Amino acid sequence: MGIPDDAGDHQWSQQHLSHYVEGDLRPRARRRLARHALGCADCGRGIRAMRALVYAVQGLDGHAGVSAPGAVFDRARLAEADGPAAPAP
């Protein structure tokens, strides 16, 4: 992943906040984004927002409390007489 020049730091950083939070940047790029964010309120806030976004999606809902309806196998049961398809030759 290319490293931008100083003039492009802000736009590049804004486009790579998810990469930063995900740990997908190489060390040099990561340091560059972190250094830019230290002096850029928008990008510092962007990092916090991206972390909050990931956290919020993780907590949007849970598996607990939602069960698959019992009818989930109905069509498979109807097809049972034919049995599963033969394996491909």
Question: Which residues make up the interface to other proteins (CB under 8 A)?
Answer: 15-19, 22, 24, 45-46, 48-69, 71-77, 79-80, 82-88
Instruction: Report, in Å, the least distance between residue 89 CB and other proteins.
Output: 11
Other CB atoms within a 10 A radius of the CB of residue 53 amount to 13
Pick the closer one to other proteins by CB: 2 or 75: 75
**68 contact partners, CB below 8 Å, separation of at least 6:** none
Pick the closer one to other proteins by CB: 7 or 68: 68
d(CA 81, CA 84): 9
